[in-house]
């Protein structure tokens, strides 16, 4: 059985790294030294120059959304919005209905 590795991102650097458990509990960015956020093993980062993609990712991470593989769905982490327009519509819906933002962001249809 292989080493379990998961992705961590540094939002200021727009960088993603896969690391195993041997790196300890607190992850620091090798470029800037800031703390990194664990995003899960099914994460695919946007390109470094994709400003919109990184803004969407920032909203998702601050809402508590992660990219873990779900054994129930069979593949991948499920739906995640990819554009700012999708995120803005879902944020407005969450405010209007009072539903938790993290739940609204990962629901395929709103």
Number of domains in the chain: 1
Model pLDDT, residue 19: 84
Name the residue range of residue 100's domain: 5-106
Tens-place pLDDT, residues 4-21:
788 999 999 999 999 876
pLDDT in tens, 57-107: 999 999 999 988 765 555 556 788 999 999 999 999 999 999 999 999 999
Q: Specify which of 24-33, 50-59, 72-81 reaches the highest per-range mean pLDDT.
A: 50-59
Collapsing DSSP states into helix, strand and coil, what is residue 62? helix
**What's the confidence (pLDDT) of residue 5?**
80
């Amino acid at each position: 059985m292989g080493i379990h590795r998961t992705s961590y991102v540094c939002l200021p650097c727009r960088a993603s790294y896969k690391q195993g458990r041997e790196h300890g509990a607190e992850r620091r960015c090798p470029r800037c030294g800031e703390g990194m956020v664990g995003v899960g093993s099914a994460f695919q980062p946007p390109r470094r120059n994709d400003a919109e993609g990184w803004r969407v990712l920032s909203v998702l991470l601050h809402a508590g959304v992660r990219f873990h593989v779900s054994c129930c769905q069979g593949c991948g982490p499920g739906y995640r919005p990819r554009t700012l327009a999708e995120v803005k519509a879902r944020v407005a819906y969450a405010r209007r209905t009072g539903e938790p933002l993290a739940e609204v962001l990962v629901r395929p249809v709103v």
